[in-house]
Amino acid sequence: MNTGMNTGMSTDRVVRTFIEYFEERGHRRITGSTLLPPPGDPVLFTTSGMHPLTPYLEGRPHPLGRRLVNLQRCLRTTDLEEVGDTTHLTVFEMLGTWSLGDYEGPQSLDWGYDLLTEGLGIDPGLLHATVHGGDEQVGPDTASLRVWQDRGVPVELTEEDNWWSNGPVGPCGPDSEIFLWTGDTPPRSTPTRDDRWVEVWNHVTMRYRRLDDGSLVPLPQRNIDTGLGLERLASLLQGRSSVFECDVFDPWRRLVPALWPLDELSLRLVYDHLRSAVVVIGDGVTPAATGRGYVLRRLVRRVLTVLWRDDPSRSLHDLPDELLTHTLDHFRQNGETAGVRRLLLDEERRFRGLLERGRQVLARPRFHGPLTGEDFRYLHDTHGLPRDLVMSLRER
Ligand code: SER
């Protein structure tokens, strides 16, 4: 991706510009939460800025009022397979704004357009919008459509792509997404047909709750929930071709390739997963066989698998302290780097041991042919070898 744009704006300045813009319009800044949702919440990690605000979207009065703005760290495991492309990170930060039963969607889009073009200096000719075109349950979002038409921004109408929900049930609603052209040619085509249109900001009119039977009921109030992926927008504003090249990854790009010479895709995976692992540990998670701890375990093991592919002597022991400190500081976490490193190294030791045991067990004649369900169960229950690990050991 390359917009040919370079406003030279640092990530910190994007955050300040965004927050101040909305504070000037009556929004109060709330402190972002950790990656861990409150007890009893069905999701493992906070996946979007709205997530900690669910009770307020459902009608509980927020102590700071009806207009809010924040910066929230998020983790999306659904994006794990996409890591390494130019726009997805496992842990990322989302700038968000909320109208809790206050102003409506057109106001939010107007502000969004002005902030992107005037506040952040984006050429309006590089923007494209998408809008909910209606389905069997909800009519077309004509109010948003009109805003974009009045502004002269091209619009595409879709169904599923312009519907936002946090899960199969709960608050949800139609959205209007703003895309930025990142191709080398003048803009062409539309966001659903050309992935050089990169989504930067989603404005959801959150006014329904989906029930277990799939039906929609109105929420007690009509809310607006917007979310903007910080690293993605910052890298575009900095004229960089991927999220891994924006300023927050500077120390990673300076230190890791010299330590572990890897191809670009592997480097991206190492930056993304190690940084995510540090943040997750910083929020109090430890590696485990289930739940959040298992996500952490997978992140660390994927890094080690990549590192050991060409050189099994590589170790997280060599990870520079600066990267741990930089990450904990960036996410405003007070953990000690020594504690984070200890957890990473414990996990490395455990994984090394498991791989050795796995190789020995799989060398037995019984496991030379195709494996049955019974074999997988035995390998797991008796030797602690999960199915995906067995599969990858047999591929070598
Ligand atoms: N909840 C929406 C999203 O995550 C907007 O914040 O995209």
Q: What is the pLDDT of residues 93-148, one digit of tens each?
A: 999 999 999 999 999 999 999 999 999 999 999 999 999 999 999 999 999 999 99
Residue 1's pLDDT band, with cuts at 50, 70 and 90, is low
pLDDT of residue 385: 85
Residue 386's pLDDT band, with cuts at 50, 70 and 90, is confident
Residue 79 predicted with pLDDT over 80? no
pLDDT of residue 37: 87
Task: Determine contact, residues 335/282, Cβ cutoff 8 Å.
Answer: yes
Ligand 1 centroid from CA 45, angstroms: 15
Tell me the pLDDT of the chain averaged across its residues.
93
- Rounded Cα distance, 127 and 142, in Å: 19
Residue 191 predicted with pLDDT over 70? yes
Would strands 197-210 and 170-181 be described as parallel, antiparallel, or unpaired? antiparallel
Report pTM.
0.91
Q: Please state which of the ranges 26-30, 127-131, 380-384 shows the lowest mean pLDDT.
A: 380-384
Could you tell me the CA-to-CA distances from 341 to 39, 48, 304, 319, 374 in Å, in that order? 27, 28, 14, 9, 37
pLDDT of residue 46: 93
- Using one digit for the tens of pLDDT, what is the confidence trace for 217-250? 999 999 999 999 999 999 999 999 899 999 999 9
- Mutation test residue for ligand 1: of 56, 202, 207, the one with most atoms within 8 Å of CB: 202
| The pair of three-digit structure tokens given for residue 270, joined into one six-digit string | 């190492």
- Using one digit for the tens of pLDDT, what is the confidence trace for 269-314? 999 999 999 999 999 999 998 999 999 999 999 999 999 988 999 9
pLDDT of residue 274: 97
- Mutation test residue for ligand 1: of 164, 203, 205, the one with most atoms within 8 Å of CB: 164
Residues flanking ligand 1, CB < 6 Å:
48-50, 96, 164, 202, 204, 225-227
Ligand 1 centroid from CA 318, angstroms: 37
Consecutive H or E run containing 176 = strand 170-181
| Index of the ligand 1 atom closest to the CA of residue 96 | 6
| The pair of three-digit structure tokens given for residue 165, joined into one six-digit string | 């929900």
Residue 334 predicted with pLDDT over 90? no
Rounded to 5 degrees, what are φ and ψ at 370?
A: -60, 145
Residue 83 predicted with pLDDT over 70? no
| Index of the ligand 1 atom closest to the CA of residue 166 | 1
- Mutation test residue for ligand 1: of 46, 50, 179, the one with most atoms within 8 Å of CB: 50
With 0-12 CB in 10 A as exposed, 13-18 as middle and 19+ as buried, what is 270?
A: buried
